[in-house]
Structure 1
Amino acid sequence: MLIHLQKLTLKNYKSHRDLVVEFGDLTKISGDNAKGKSSIPESLCWTLYGTDALGSKLDPTPIGYDFDEVKNELLLKVDDKQVLLGRGLAKGKAKYWINDVPSKATEYDELVQTLFDKDLFLSLFNPSYFFTMHPTEQRALMLRYVTSPASKEVFAQLPAAQADKLAELIKKHSLTDLEKIHRENKTKQDKAYIAAQSRTKTLLEQLNSLPDAGVEIEDATAKIAELDGQIQEIRNKSSTADQTNQRISALKAQIESLNKRIEASKEKWPALKHEEINGICHTCKRPLDDESIQAAEDDKEERMAQYRAAHKVLLDERETFTSELAQLKRVETSELHEEKDRLEQSKQPLLDAIKSYARREQMEQQIEQAKAAEAETLASRNESVFILDAIKAFQAKEAELQATKVQELFTTLSIRLFKQNKGDGELKADFEIEMDGKAYRKLSLSESIRAGLELRDVLSQQSSIVAPCFVDNAESITRFTQPSGQLIMCRVVAGQELNIETEDEHND
Structure 2
Amino acid sequence: IIDKQTSLIKIEDLIKTTEANIDNGNSLLKELREKWTTENQKQFDGSLICPTCKREFDEDKKDEILSDFNKHKAETLTEIQNRANNYKKDLSDFEESLLDLKLDREKLVEEIGTLQNQFDNFREFTEEKPVIEKEDYPIEYYTLQKEIEIIKQELQAISSNDNTVILEQKQQLQSNLNVVVSKLALKDNNKFIDEKINNYLVQEKELAKIFEEQQRKIFLADEYTRIYTSLVQDKINDLFKTVNFRLFETQVNGEIKETCEVTVNGVPYPSVNNAGKINAGLDVINSLSEHFEKRVPIFVDNAESITDILEVKSQIVKLYVAKNLNLQIL
Name which one, 1 or 2, has greater alpha-carbon Rg.
1
Give me the TM-score of the superposition, normalised by structure 2.
0.49
Give me the TM-score of the superposition, normalised by structure 1.
0.34
Higher relative contact order (Cα pairs below 8 Å, separated by 6+ residues): 1
Higher strand proportion (structure 1 or 2): 1
